[in-house]
Amino acid sequence: MCPATAVENTDRGWIIPIGGAEDKENDMKILHRFWKLSGGKDAKILVIPTASQLEDTGPRYVEIFEKLGGKAMYIRVDDREDCFKDRIQGKLKRATGIFITGGNQLRLSTILGGTPVAKSIRDLNARGIHVAGTSAGAAIITEHMIAGGSPGPTPTENGATMAPGLGLTNKLIVDQHFRQRDRIGRLMTALSYNPFISGIGIDEDTAAFISPQGVFEVVGAGAITVVDPSGLTHSSMHDARHQDVITLIGMKVHILGEGSKYDINTRETFTD
């Protein structure tokens, strides 16, 4: 699933995957930056809490964004039938920023996948609307989504389960709660299936602010681990047996702290 075609003379919207557990009470650096990017006091942020089954998830984010200023609302999309309702489409089209909450990413993919809501999010992002997602909401932003897998430092044959995502970018795979849940092994497993894109593991209270030009900046308290498989010279995934350790030779790994940047097109890292 590729990103929607950009509108001529219009920049795509920013894409902001967040590693989860972002600060919601103090300086709220990540949420504040997303709010400001979406228009600040003129922002109209739409929260999609589908991944969560907690009743207060949507209202809590609405309260946070309205405390910052501007307007916010949330939509209940609890089953696929909701995705075909005109009122949902109307609310999407009025948004200047879309925020997808955490929870279970398979709820997101099985409820939103292939529906008018998923198509609208892709189209709106191509037309300049910014899309952020935290935790499960970060995982689904990309074309290929990590749906589950085993923790640990070592890639294994069964270390990652994949599913289609929203497809706002087809140049990354995202994993979240990265250092806190020891997910380097499953990110490398996901990349080993077809190492044509970069993988980014995002720590909690950390985000990648991906510009329309494809350069992301690290924002927040943690780090982003970038795994670049473009130099891979050998992978044993093709003949691995169940639960075997995977040999990967030539992987490049970067650890990027706040302010560091990565170009997802050229795979270059840099700091200002």
Query: Which residue numbers are catalytic?
Result: 135, 177, 204
- Cα–Cα distance measured from residue 14 to residue 130, given in angstroms and rounded to the nearest whole number: 5
| Phi/psi at 199 (5° precision) | -110, 140
Are 145 and 163 within 8 A, CB to CB? yes
- Please return the burial class of 85, using the count of CB atoms within 10 Å of its CB with bins 0-12, 13-18 and 19+: middle
Determine how β-strand 261-263 pairs with β-strand 234-235.
unpaired
SS3 231: coil
Structure tokens at 131: 């899309």
> 12: closest CA among 125, 172, 166?
125
Residues 6+ apart with CB under 8 A from 46: 72, 73, 74, 75, 91, 92, 94, 95, 97, 98, 99
Which residues is 261 bridged to in the sheet? 217, 270
Are 211 and 179 within 8 A, CB to CB? no
